[in-house]
Amino acid sequence: MSATGRAWAFAGVLCGVVVAADQAVKATIESRLFPGEDVDVLGPLGLTLSHNRGVAFGLAGGAGLGLVLVTVAALAVIAYVFSRDPRRRGMWVAAGLLAGGALGNLIDRLTAGEVTDYIVVGSWPPFNLADVAITIGVLLMVWIYLRDAEPEAESG
């Protein structure tokens, strides 16, 4: 298998792992907590069952089909950016995390019309594993592009 093929395979496997873990944790939370129940875990970290019809942290609540279409468009952008240079060091990790997180939340939207959130940190709105994967994927992708940016020629 070529290096490009391996990068796509690794990104696909990571995406699948993120989706599977996200859906498994959401199912466990749904089966063990009732909506609004708070469970202290450690310090400011807690669990609660909440449902979100909007995007991350409840923004743009109730957007329905629009959010599904935005998610599909975001997945297309992720695939396009990754396809430009899949062998770039670490890019498969960023793409796999982003795609897995987006698909995890998309599955919720398509099956339940809302996303299950359960992680609480201090007064931050509840979020989930898919949101964590998306956030880390975005930060990693930005870091990769900044790391690989060619320094501008100094004019003098």
Tell me which residues are annotated as active site. 117, 131
SS3 65: helix
Report how far residue 123's alpha carbon sits from residue 39's, in angstroms, rounded to the nearest whole number: 14
**Residue 93, CB-side half-sphere exposure with 13 Å CA sphere:** 11
Cα 46 to chain centroid distance, Å, stands at 20
Token pair, residue 149, equals: 């940016």
Q: What is the 3-state secondary structure (H, E, C) of 85-122?
A: CCCCCCHHHHHHHHHHHHHHHHHHHHHHCCEEEEEEEC
Please enumerate in sequence order all residues whose Cβ is within 8 A of that of 107, keeping only pairs 6 or more positions apart, or say none.
19, 23
DSSP for residue 35: B
